[in-house]
Amino acid sequence: MCLFKEHKMSRFTWLKSPSHFLFLKVFAWFWLTVIATISILVFLSKLATSEVSNEPLRGPMLKNLQYTAKAITRVVHKHNKPIEEVITHPRLTNRKLLYLASNLPEQMLTSQMLPSNVDLSLLNYTKHLPAQVIFTEHYQAFGPVKLDLPSGTYYLYEIDSNRAKPFFISLWLMPTWLKVLIAVMASLTLSFFFSRNLIAPINSLKRAALKLANGDLSARANIDTKRQDEIGVLGRDFNTMASQLAQLISAQKRLLADISHELRSPLTRLKMATGLAQMQADEKQHTYLNRIEKEANQLDKMIADVLQVSRLEAKSQPLNYTQQSLQIIINHVLNDAQFEAKQCNKQLQIKGSLTASIACDEHLIASALENVLRNAIKYAHHTICITLTQAEQLYIEIADDGKGVDEENLTRLCEPFFRQEHARDRNSGGTGLGLAIAKNAISAHGGTLVLENQPNSGLCVKISLPIKN
């Protein structure tokens, strides 16, 4: 029973705080647009319509007016009475103001005294039209119906001075282009402000999500903290999530760096103990001790790589900048890579050269290029192609003719410790730190490292570095 009450209360929460719900805002903006459009039409209908307007007369009113015209004609012809006397007879003009227009102004006749605000000359242009409902500012007229009498030709109108022009008639009589323009402008204006109010925080949220996905852990959605609707709640939840994610990743990196640092002390003692044991060991024991030393050195290198990745990601790696030609750095790396490739029966093909000098940490750049080249040599079948070009930036492309990388894993290759499923063992897949070090080293110099699969070939690593002194 209690759960039912809570559910029922939650269904009607929006009645207490309607501004906290986006669907109510959308509903309110829609009706505001409709009301504003109608209000503008009401206002302009009083300004835009001409002093006199008309529309065809139909239905009972037309029949009554035609009946009155026949009665007047019959009485004048049958009883030979003057027209002035006929139209003023009470039976005919009971609660009606009749107006007989003529082509001669002096023959104009009315059945009653005219109110001061009734200007019948406004009807002159309608005398030769079919029967109309004629709207003026102060009265309505119905007619004309033509009368051929002995005294001349007249045009019968019935005047109603007590009725103002109906609002919907005013709107109907407005020009079509004006009605369309009003509706379009009102809806466009209000829709613009509504869309801006709705889309601006969504765009801010989208930009923040994209930055966060690209590794910018400081990205936050710029949404008003006082906003209480669904978008405001979503924005605050996103910012909370981003903060917690940044804390978790920062804690993970710090833990990884701390563990790697603490491992170095016992590892150093292990290597010292191994060295002492080798001095006292016989030939059979040397085989095992050499194996221990090899694995300890491998572990030492892995720890050094982990510390370097952690420092680069945390931007705490001290960089020793010197002005250096990038071609010289590449040549040193290529000399070692040529030897390594030759041992594996593989070939390096070098195209182009670089002449610009850049301010860089020579050791860090060389380490990045070495890691990429070793990765290419490891997975190439026969050939590794290095292309060097120079424009507004320095471009280095290192491509192998291997199997390439699965598309779903391409963006993760630069993550620390990530290796493809078919290369999990260290002998073939490495530790998964080389490309991570390379990407962070290039990023530390303001450059980019992008991985792409070549059509019908292997992996291509594209490196760009800005030319700056």
In tens, the pLDDT along 167-177 reads 555 555 556 66
Q: Range with the lowest mean pLDDT among 68-72, 176-180, 189-193, 203-207?
A: 176-180
Rounded to whole angstroms, the Cα distance separating 198 from 174 reads 34
> Predicted confidence band at 29 (pLDDT cuts at 50, 70, 90)?
low
pLDDT tens sequence across 351-372: 988 888 888 888 888 888 888 8
Query: Was domain 321-466 assigned CATH 3.30.565.10?
Result: yes
358, 361, 362, 367: CA torsion to nearest 10: -120
pLDDT of residue 424: 38
Structure tokens of 242? Answer: 């981003």
Specify which residues 466 forms β-bridges with.
393
- The stretch 122-127 carries a mean pLDDT of 80
Does the domain at 230-313 match CATH 3.40.47.10? Answer given as no
Main-chain phi, psi angles of 156, to 5 degrees: -90, 130
Residue 291 CA to residue 185 CA, distance in Å, equals 83
Question: Is 3 a residue whose pLDDT tops 50?
Answer: no
Q: What pLDDT shows up at residue 113?
A: 82
For the domain 53-173, what is the CATH superfamily, name and number? Two-component sensor protein CpxA, periplasmic domain (3.30.450.210)
Give the residue, 169 or 309, on which the prediction is more confident: 309
Per-chain mean pLDDT for the chain = 77
Q: What is residue 385's predicted lDDT score, i.e. its pLDDT?
A: 92
**pLDDT reported for residue 298:** 75
pTM exceeding 0.85 = no
Is the pLDDT assigned to residue 16 strictly greater than 60? no
Pairing of strands 347-351, 383-390: parallel
Average pLDDT over residues 190-219: 78
- 101 Cβ neighbours under 8 A, 6+ residues apart: 108, 120, 123, 124, 127, 144, 154, 155, 157
Which residues are 396's β-sheet partners?
388, 463
Domain map (residue ranges) of the chain: 53-173, 230-313, 321-466
Reported as a single tens digit per residue, the pLDDT across 402-433 is 888 888 778 777 777 666 654 434 445 456 67
List the structure tokens of 312.
């680069």
Dump the DSSP string for 267-304. HHHHHHHHHHHHHH--HHHHHHHHHHHHHHHHHHHHHH
Number of residues in the chain: 469
> What are 132-179's pLDDT values in tens digits?
888 776 788 888 888 888 888 889 888 887 655 555 555 555 566 666
Segment 209-232, tens digit of pLDDT? 888 887 777 888 888 777 777 778
How far apart CA 352 and CA 389 sit, in angstroms, is 6
